[in-house]
Structures are given as C-alpha cells and as structure tokens.
Amino acid sequence: MDFAQLLISGLANGCVYGLIALGFVLIYKATEAINFAQGDMMMLGAFITLALTNDNHMGLPFIPSVLIAIAVMAVFGYLLDALMLRHVFGQPQIAVVILTIAIGYIIRFGAGLIWGHEPQSLHSPLAGQDITIAGIALGLDEIAVIIVTILLTGFLYGFFAHTRTGIAIQAASQNQLAAYYMGVPVRRVYSLVWGLSGVVAAIAGVLFASKGSIDPNTGLLGIKAFAAAVIGGFGSLPGALLGGLIVGVIEPFASRYGPSGYAQIAPYLLLVLVLVFRPHGLLPQVQQKKV
Amino acid sequence: MSTPLLQVDNLESYYGPVLAIRGVSLSVESGQIVSVLGANGAGKTTLLKTLSGVMNPEKGSVSLNGDTLTGLPPEQVVARGVIHVPEGREIFPLLSVADNLAMGAFLRRDRDAIARDHEMVLDYFPVLRERLAQAAGTLSGGQQQMLAIGRGLMANPRIMLLDEPSLGLSPRLVGEIFDIIKRLNTEQGVTLMLVEQNARVALSIAHHAYVMELGRVVMSDSAEKMRQSRDIQQFYLGEQEDGVRGQRRWKARKTWR
C-alpha cells in the first residue's frame, strides 16, 4: 500500500521531469541547441496560468486559462527562436548555451518582479482531492498528471509520425541540407519546434503547479530534467520520458528507504552510473551515416 | 533559338574564402541532358549549390524560362521546379523510404498527381517498392542513390540537378542507374543537368557537355563532339595514345591552355 502510493507519486513527479526533458530533446534533436531555459519556460507557463485563473489575480475559469497559457508559451517559444536564437545559428555551440542560460535568468527574475518570489499555489480544481482505489488513497492531481502525460505523448507521436509538418521536422533534424533541397523552410521549422517545446513546457508547468506550490526558482528543476534526458539517451524522445520517470520514481523510494538526505543525491548518482556504463544513455539514438 | 530553360550568366560564387566559380555561363535546353564534367575542386558542386539557392552568388544571374532565380531562398527555387539531387545521396536516414519519397513532394498539394508520381518512381526503381517501410539509412549505397533520385522526381522537377550519381558505386550499378536516368529523360521528358567526374558514362547519355576547370568553363560542345575530342579522350576518358616514341606524352598540354 505504501509502495503503491510512493510509486504513483513518483510516476507523477517523473512525468513532469519527463515532459521538461522532452522539451530539451525536441529542441536538441531538431536544432542541435540545448535550451537551458526549458525549466524556466515551464515555470513561466505555470505562472501565466496562475495569473489568469487565481482569484486574487484575474479569476478566469481554469481550462480556458490553461489554453491561453499554452498559446502564449507557443508564441513565446516561436519568437524566442525567430528573434534571438536564429542570430546565433551557426555560431559555436557555447554561444547558444550561454544565450539560453541568460534567457533563463531573465525569465526567472522577470517572473519574480511580476509575481514576487514567495511560493504561490495554483487554484486547480484537481488540487487536494483524493480518490480511494482498493484501499489506496491516491491524489487526483497525481492521476491527472499521469493521464495528461500519456495523452500528450500520444499526440506528439501522431504528430511526428503522420503529419506533413511533423515528418518535415524529423527530416530537417536528420539532414538539414537535404531538407533545404526538398524545399523545407528550415528556419521556420526550427522556430516551430521552439513553439512546440513552449507548449510542452506550459503543460508541464501546469501539471507541476497543480501538485504543489511554485515560485520563480521552480525552473531550476530543469537541471534535474536535463539529467533525466541524458539518462534516457539525449536525442531520443521515448528516452527522455523514460529518464524522467526513472528519476521521478527513484526520489521518493530513496527518501523512504534510504538514509536521510539520500533522495537529493540519488538521481545524480544514477546519472553517473549510466554515463559510466552506458555513455549514450538507456535508449540511444541509433544513426549511422553511409558515405 | 528560343530561350533556354535554364540560363546561367557570368556566375561567381565563393566556397568559404575561395572564389570557387569564376564567371560561369551556360544554358540548358528543355528536354536535354546537359553534362558538366570536371575534376575534384573544379567548382561543379558549388555551381549546383548556387543554382539551387543554398549558396548566394557573388555576381551573375540564373534564370529559369526567363524568370530570375538569383537571390531566392531555396524553398522558392524548389517551388519553381529546380530540384537538386545532392552528391553523396543525403537521404533522411531514420525516415522510412516512403516518408523520404513523400518529403520530395513537400511543397506540392496536388494529391492525385503526387500519387501518380509515387507509382512512377516505384516503377523505375522496383527495389524501393519492396522496402517502402524500411528506414532509408539501412539501404545499400546504390539503393540510397536510387532513393535520392526518386525523391527528386517526387518534386515534379522542370529541371533536375544531379550531382555525381556515380559516386562510390560499382560499375554495374553505375550502368544500371545511368540507364534509368536516360530512360527518365526519353520517356518522361525530364530535363537534367548532370555533374560528373565519370566523363565516359556521362557523355554516353548527355546531349551537350561543358568542361569545368578551376571554376571556369573551358569547353562547351555537343556530347558527340566531346567524345571525339582528343583533349577529352586524353584527360577525362583516360585513353592511351601512343606518342612518337611509343610513350604517352605526360607533359601534353590541353589545347585550351
């Protein structure tokens, strides 16, 4: 019983990590840039929802607020690439890394200026409700997180495997030059991927905020999600989710059964082990080029 | 004479810091196969990249049926029907063969015509039909070349720029692929600009040929005449010619120098 509760809450946490990791991997696969602002984009999505729906702010209904926040983050991601990252395109990798770290700081302190640095909680209809299945009390918020993650994953899979735009994104990430030759507007496709990862960030933010409180530093969670993406095999979308789930599940079990203080170390210890024994992660992206 | 399909005037283009194309002028008539021959580093690939818009020329102009293409982004050049089949295949390795072909028709909306072209491509390259669901990166080199040509055909090209289709293939496969290229030209009326190092096989199917050296066009003639030219035989077809002392004259100079 204890075990099941730990597992569900671990999986719910893991889903959030997995979604942030997915954002990292989406952008990395398509554009070969690593967006260290991904965690902060998640936090921003959560705060925009909070500002729209909480009674002490605008007090709009919950679902429309979430949809508006998703749309805002989609535009935010698109413009971030179109107005900023496009200019460092083709520059050394380190320029992109530093640029996204700087953007992350700007988002973090900008959010602090607008909404304050105190923790706040999102007024979600899911918060604080339990359902009991076979004698096990499970948080409705945690179940919702898992279901939404499954739905979003299915949606993304369908998008990449079956739509013209999704296949074009894959094509541009596998062979940028050939994509140009086929008439794919590669730069616009890249901006689109940033917009998509803004959407994923907003959803992850709302899911995270409905499980507890958020403050502008919540975005630092992105580092843990980054570790999850590496564990899963950076460059693999299923790997990112898997890595997120593993990190999410390992934390509550480590704190429950391990010595105290161990929970914080566990994900990184796992990261070290994975990198030593499987340097390409658990689900590496296989890609060989024939010449 | 009517305006040619593709007209290139005095084109200059840099490859990095190097002026790789130094004032190239050439033209391609509709329905023809025009071959551009030349050794490594002659500027052939840079020429094609400039034509397809992934590189911007320093000077000069490119026009298709009288409409200027110079300065257009690659997607608009593709939309006008200039399709580049790059050197070294450059397929999408993790996409299926079917999705690779579909990417060729990325800018098209005419579903029925796309389906017809899909069937046409599979009729010319039956080996691809057996492997539609397979990841393209698992195909052999020759199959990847066929896929690259098929993907180009899916764009319904008005002119196809074909870069070194013989690269890294066995002589038998080269023969097979060039037979298909010739058939595409005669049966489907595909206009082709064929860039090759393998002069023998290129001249065997071309109508007209240009020879490039160090970024310049140094010779232009019908393929027929080229095959008979002594310079071409000596320097590009590698034919042995007995000199006065029964040896090949290694220091022989080309007539255009």
List, for residues B18-68, the tens digit of each pLDDT value.
Answer: 888 899 999 999 999 999 998 888 889 999 999 999 999 999 999 999 899
User: Does the domain made of B6-235 have the CATH classification 1.10.10.10?
Assistant: no
- For B29-89, list the strands marked E by DSSP: 33-37, 59-64, 67-68, 82-85
Q: Name the band, by pLDDT with cuts 50, 70 and 90, for residue A133.
A: confident
Q: What is the pLDDT of residue B240?
A: 56
Stretch 48-107 of chain B: residues touching chain A, C-beta under 8 Å: 52, 54, 73-75, 78-79, 83-86, 88-95, 99, 102-104, 106-107
Give the amino acid at B44: K
The residue whose two tokens read 């095959």 is B227
Q: Which long-range contacts (CB under 8 A, 24 or more apart) does A77-84 make?
A: A77/A41, A77/A194, A77/A195, A77/A196, A77/A197, A77/A198, A77/A199, A77/A201, A78/A191, A78/A192, A78/A194, A78/A195, A78/A198, A79/A191, A80/A37, A80/A194, A80/A198, A81/A31, A81/A190, A81/A191, A81/A193, A81/A194, A81/A195, A82/A191
Which residue's entry shows tokens 């509709």?
A: B30
Is A167 part of any domain?
yes
Q: How many other β-carbons are positioned within 10 Å of the β-carbon of residue B245?
A: 7
Q: What is residue A90's predicted lDDT score, i.e. its pLDDT?
A: 77
A289 neighbourhood in chain B, CB within 8 Å: 93, 137
- Dihedrals phi, psi of A62, to nearest 5 degrees: -65, -55
List of residues 6+ apart from B190 with CB closer than 8 A: B153, B157, B160, B184
Of chain A, the percentage scoring pLDDT greater than 90 comes to 61
pLDDT tens-digit map of A54-104? 888 888 999 999 999 999 999 999 999 999 998 887 788 889 999 999 999
The 10s digit of each residue's pLDDT in B104-142 is 999 999 999 999 999 999 999 999 999 999 999 999 999
Q: Given A174, A185, A290, which is nearest B92 (Cβ)?
A: A174
Mean pLDDT computed over every residue of chain A: 89
The complex scores an ipTM of: 0.87
In a mutational test of the B interface, the residue from A181, A188, A283 whose CB has the highest number of chain B CBs within 10 Å is A181
**A261: confidence class by pLDDT, cuts 50, 70, 90:** confident
Rounded-to-integer distance, Cα B181 and Cα A96, Å: 44
- Check CB contact of A183 with chain B, cutoff 8 Å: yes
Q: For position A268, what pLDDT does the model report?
A: 87
Q: How many CA atoms lie within 13 A of B122 on its CB side?
A: 16
Does residue A201 have a pLDDT over 90?
Answer: yes
The answer to whether residue A279 sits within a structural domain is no
- Kindly state the percentage of chain B with pLDDT values over 70: 91
What per-residue confidence (pLDDT) applies to B244?
47
Q: How far is Cα A18 from Cα A242, in angstroms, rounded to an integer?
A: 7
Across the interface, do B74 and A180 touch by the CB < 8 Å criterion? yes
Nearest to A213 by CA among A124, A114, A120, A142: A120
Better-scored residue on pLDDT, B210 or A3 = B210
- Mean residue pLDDT of chain B comes to 89
Q: How far apart are CA A108 and CA B72, in angstroms?
A: 40
Confirm if A140 and A130 have CB atoms less than 8 A apart: yes
As a dihedral over the C-alpha atoms of residue B65, residue B70, residue B73, residue B75, rounded to 10 degrees, the angle is: 20
How far is residue A262's CA from residue A256's CA, in Å, rounded to a whole number? 9
Neighbours of A103 (CB within 10 A): 18
Distance between CA A135 and CA B159 in Å, rounded?
A: 71
B84-102 CB burial, b ≥16 within 10 A, e <16:
bbbbbbbbbbbbbbbbbbb
CB contact under 8 A, B102 and A167: yes
User: In this structure, what are the phi and psi dihedrals at residue A80, rounded to the nearest 5 degrees?
Assistant: -55, -45
pLDDT at residue A223 tops 80: yes
- Sequence ranges of the domains in chain B: 6-235
Q: What is the pLDDT of residue A1?
A: 57
| Nearest alpha carbon to residue A69 among A95, A96, A41, A88 | A41
Q: What pLDDT score was predicted for residue B52? A: 93
Taking the Cβ of residue B110 and every Cβ of chain A, the question of whether any pair is shorter than 8 Å is answered with no
**The token pair that represents A276 in the structure block:** 């030593």
Contacts of A155 (CB under 8 A, 6+ apart): none
pLDDT at A20 over 90: yes
Whole-angstrom Cα distance, residue B224 to residue B207?
Answer: 8
What is the per-residue pLDDT for B253? 59
Examine the pLDDT at A289 and tell me if it is beyond 70. no
Mean pLDDT for the stretch of residues A211-234: 90
Q: Strand B67-68: give its sheet, edge to edge.
A: B18-28, B6-15, B59-64, B67-68
Segments forming the whole domain that contains residue A30:
2-222
What count of residues does chain B have? 257
**pLDDT confidence of residue B133:** 95
Residue A290 pLDDT: 34
Q: Which residue of A has its CA nearest to B157?
A: A182
> B256 pLDDT band (50/70/90 cuts)?
low
Contacts of A50 (CB under 8 A, 6+ apart): A57, A115, A120, A122, A123, A209, A214
* Residue A106 placed within a domain: yes
Cα separation, B153 vs B175, in Å, equals 19
Nearest CA of chain A to the CA of B145: how many Å? Answer: 11
Which of the four pLDDT bands, split at 50, 70 and 90, describes residue B254? low
Give strand pairing partners of B12: B22, B59
Q: What does the pLDDT read at residue B187? A: 94
Q: Which of B197, B189, B117 is nearest to B158 (CA)?
A: B189
Strand partners, B9: B61
The H-assigned helical ranges of chain A are 2-31, 38-53, 62-79, 86-88, 93-115, 140-162, 164-174, 176-181, 186-209, 221-232, 237-257, 262-277
* Closest Cβ–Cβ partner in A183, A289, A290 for B107: A183
Q: Which of B78, B90, B102 sits opposite A175 (nearest CB)?
A: B90
Number of domains in chain A: 1
Q: Per the domain annotation, does A263 fall within a domain? A: no
Percent of chain B with pLDDT over 90: 72
Where do runs of H (alpha helix) occur along B125-197? 126-129, 141-153, 171-188
Q: And the tokens for A59?
A: 């007090």
CA distances B107 to A185, A223, B52, B156, B232, Å, are 10, 39, 15, 10, 40
Q: Is B113 helix (H, G, I), strand (E, B) or coil?
A: helix
Interatomic CA distance for residues A63 and A51, integer angstroms: 13
What's the burial of A3, exposed, middle or buried (CB within 10 Å: 0-12/13-18/19+)?
Answer: exposed
Of A127 and B33, the one with more pLDDT: B33
Start-to-end CA distance of chain B, whole Å, equals 30
